[in-house]
Amino acid sequence: MPRPRPPHLHLERTRHGKVVFYFRRGKGARIRIRGAYGSPEFLDAYESARTATAHQRAPRAAAGTLAWLIARYEDSVAWARLSATTKRQRECIFKDAVKSEADYPFTKITKAAIVAALDRRRATPFMAKAFLKAMHGLFWWAVEADLIKTDPTAGVHCRVPRTEGFHAWTEEEIAKFETRWPIGSRERLALAVLLYTGLRRGDASMLGRQHIRDNVLTFRTAKTGSQIVIPILPELAAIIAATKTGDLALIATEHGRPMTKESFGNWFRGACRAAGVPGSAHGLRKAGATRAANNGATVAQLEAIFGWSGGGMASLYTRRADRTRLAREAIHKLGVWNGR
């Protein structure tokens, strides 16, 4: 059964009825986690408490070793600025690296060593790419901190296969899911939140009534930290009103508690299988972007809804929509002109 909330996070109610959260690992000290549940401030405070207590339990690494450098990096401002998702991913990568090279002097790690590490991961190119990103972040920080002169990851590239990414839901698949999960079910609410807000699964799992005021959703995304402000569509408002929700999260467990990003994704994937559709939470985000672009949304409008920046991702959808529209308008030109 999925965890109702992140590990070692405890919920309490004060004598005034206010909900507060504390981090406590085993019988260790309690650390107050401030900020709205699921907000970047909250996630950063949680990560700081978790990392701090983990460091207290871990043996002190010898100065100059790779393990020592990683520990310094995880105490830095650069690390604190990373999203909670990126931190978790890089912690796993560093943990694996430390298992075999904990005592290796970090100043002796060369470009050739990084390339060799990537080669050992050639069977899993996307994991290799994540490894390179993590190491680049580590050694870039080390250069900035004057701990080394050059970054051994500089100029190293890792190619990954070109894919379409997550499957974008079709309108037929959306209709099939809606038939299987009627209004009033948690599964239908999850589909509506993902489709009509464009939130990523981690943000969707944290979305609560505290983020909605005067029928307007205001939310700061966990991945990029960008704030989105969008009106709640009538379709979504009606489904929220018809569904039993949790206190802190609209899409909650059967006991009314928030879900982690991972447990939400696994639960929703199970709902997709039960409906006989090959979709995922992220695929609905792509379907929503496709809908909006096909209905004439501009690059700026897509970025406002989905929290993108730079124009690249939004342009991808608008170009596809424009290509489809132009093809429909021009297809008759391929026909035989009978007037000649």
For residue 2, the model assigns a pLDDT of 40
305 Cβ contact partners less than 8 Å away, ≥ 6 residues apart: 198, 228, 230, 288, 292, 297
In the chain, which residue ranges form alpha helices assigned H by DSSP? Answer: 40-57, 66-73, 77-80, 84-101, 111-120, 125-144, 171-180, 186-197, 201-206, 234-241, 261-275, 281-294, 299-306, 312-330
> pTM above 0.85?
no
Residues 186 and 141 in one domain: no
Instruction: Report how many domains make up the chain.
Output: 3
The verdict on residue 340 lying in a domain is no
pLDDT string in tens for the chain (340-residue length)? 344 567 788 888 776 677 888 888 776 778 888 888 877 778 778 877 876 655 554 557 788 899 999 999 988 888 888 877 788 889 989 988 888 787 889 999 999 999 999 999 888 888 999 999 999 999 999 999 999 999 999 999 988 776 556 778 888 999 999 999 999 999 999 999 998 888 888 888 889 889 999 999 998 887 777 788 888 989 999 999 999 988 788 998 887 788 888 889 889 999 999 999 987 888 888 888 888 877 887 878 777 777 666 766 667 666 666 666 667 776 776 766 545 5
Place of tokens 């939004």: 314
Q: Is residue 166 part of a domain?
A: no
Element (H, E) at 217: strand 216-220
123 plus 24 within the same structural domain:
no
**Do 175 and 296 have their domain in common?**
yes
Residue ending a domain, among 103, 137, 161, is 161
**265 in Cβ contact with 173 (< 8 Å):** no
Closest by CA to 288, choosing from 269, 272, 308, is: 308
- Which residues, other chains included, contact 317 with Cβ-Cβ below 8 Å and sequence gap of 6+? 289, 290, 292, 293, 302
Say whether both 175 and 205 belong to one domain: yes
- Per the domain annotation, does 75 fall within a domain? yes
Residue (of 13, 91, 89) closest to 261 by Cα position: 89
Distance CA 284, CA 240 (A): 18
| Residues 111 and 199 occupy one common structural domain | no
Tell me, yes or no, whether 110 and 47 share the same domain: no
Residue 179 sits in a domain whose CATH number is: 1.10.443.10
Q: Say if 277 falls within a structural domain.
A: yes
Same domain as 192, residue 48:
no
pLDDT, position 286:
82
* Domain C-terminal end among 161, 180, 202: 161
On whether residue 336 sits in a domain, the answer given is no
Q: Which of 119, 143, 161 is the last residue of a domain?
A: 161
Same domain, 31 and 95: no
Is 227 in a helix, a strand, or coil? Answer: strand
Residue 335, domain member (yes or no): no
Q: In terms of DSSP H, where are the helices of 83-147?
A: 84-101, 111-120, 125-144
Please enumerate in sequence order all residues whose Cβ is within 8 A of that of 204, keeping only pairs 6 or more positions apart, or say none.
Answer: 190, 193, 194, 197, 251, 264, 281
Residues 79 and 143 in one domain: yes
Please indicate, yes or no, if residue 44 is contained in any of the structural domains: yes
Residue 22 in domain: yes
Domain span including residue 288: 171-329
Same structural domain for residues 255 and 117? no
CATH number, position 77: 1.10.150.130
Q: Examine the domain organization and report whether 127 and 229 are in the same domain.
A: no
Claim to verify: residue 190 and residue 86 sit in the same structural domain: no
